[in-house]
Amino acid sequence: MTGDELYYIKDAVAKGKISGNGYYTQKCHNFFKETIGFRNCLLTSSCTDALEMAAILIGIQPGDEVIMPSFTFVSTANAFVLRGAKIIFADSYSNNPNIDAGVIEELITPKTKAIIVVHYAGVACDMDTIMDVANRHNLFVVEDAAQAIDSYYNGKPLGTIGHLAAFSFHETKNIISGEGGMLVVNDDRFDQRAEIIWEKGTNRSAFFRGEVDKYSWVDVGSSFLPSDVTAAFLFAQLENFQKIQSRRKLLWQTYNEGLKDLQHIDDIELPKIPDYATANGHLFYLVCKNIEQRSALISHLKDDGIYAVFHYLSLHKSPFYIADNSNRLLKNCDKYADCLVRLPLFYELHTQDQVKIIESVKTFFE
């Protein structure tokens, strides 16, 4: 929290129009266009919603195949499963939880429609390789950029490279509104339809701009847009964007510096940022040598009053999806599911507390 959230919520209430696509929604859209350079964006109620919009926009039909990493959140998959897609899970790199760009091509079949990339921990996937594979096979690329605000691939903001991108403002992310998200549209073929799907399948936005004289039901859609109260909260965060981001990046750097000697211990990994990528201070993790060591580290930290948590379980092994993937072996994904642990990283984290966390981690390994 930055302290300005209640001020803007109060103002949204005073303005008297708190449904979607109001004053603060426009302010947020303008911020993203002017400050980050997104060409077209729409706030949504969640990143999950933005991914569902993406699945509708790229025309996913029952039986289509969609390639994505197994090491991700369920929403990445569910949005496409809801349209009838079959998910083809890909492995991570051995030294980076992101999708291994080198294994994508062999997973493509005549039924493949799209590749969904997830910039894990806000670190870019290998987008040149992925866009090249997608272009050669005529596939759509959707960036699940839930964790990737303010992060870059070779100087390009993440979320501007695929055909569509989805961001999250869930309270666990860098910039928050409780629940919240955003669809970014990079391909102008989707502009008009995105706005219609967003507004329950109506051309209400065009009506309010005076482009049509009545609004009607013109397509499928849902209520994907957030209330202006949510947008007001988000705007308070956006006004403090640099402040939040510099603090989070500093905390990330401090962990990286403070723990860098651990990478000389056998089988312990720290985050690796490829040359083409940046770190946006979203999350800092360690990869332990096995699940037993990770459990021991988590309970050692807990005894010191520090709450550290693991992250995704492999989606290809989840109870809901295992039948379709029972014979797939994705060993790097399984390694991150078993061995990765996240250290506390949030805007209000005090420097003295971070020093204690670093000490506690080092004591464990010593």
Ligand X SMILES: *Cc1c(COP(=O)(O)O)cnc(C)c1O
| Site of interaction with ligand X (CB under 6 A) | 46-48, 72-73, 75-76, 118, 144, 146-147, 168, 170, 181
CA–CA distance, 277 with 270 (Å, rounded to integer): 15
Nearer to ligand X, 22 or 122 (CB): 122
CA–CA distance, 244 with 193 (Å, rounded to integer): 34
Nearer to ligand X, 247 or 342 (CB): 342
The per-type count for the chain, helices as H runs and strands as E runs, is 13, 11
CA–CA distance, 127 with 170 (Å, rounded to integer): 25
Catalytic residue among 27, 111, 113, 173: 173
What are residue 106's DSSP bridge partners? none
Residue located via tokens 């403090």:
240
Nearer to ligand X, 97 or 204 (CB): 97
Q: How far is the CB of 222 from ligand X (least distance, A)?
A: 14
Alpha-helical (H) ranges within the chain are: 5-15, 23-31, 47-57, 74-81, 127-136, 191-198, 204-208, 228-239, 241-258, 291-303, 322-325, 331-339, 351-365
Q: Strand, helix or coil at 256?
A: helix
Active site residue 173: yes
Q: How far is the CB of 344 from ligand X (least distance, A)?
A: 17
Q: How far is the CB of 311 from ligand X (least distance, A)?
A: 9
Nearer to ligand X, 46 or 254 (CB): 46
Q: In what order do the strands lie in the sheet with 86-90?
A: 41-44, 181-185, 164-168, 140-144, 112-118, 65-69, 86-90
Q: How far is the CB of 251 from ligand X (least distance, A)?
A: 18
Active site residues: 173
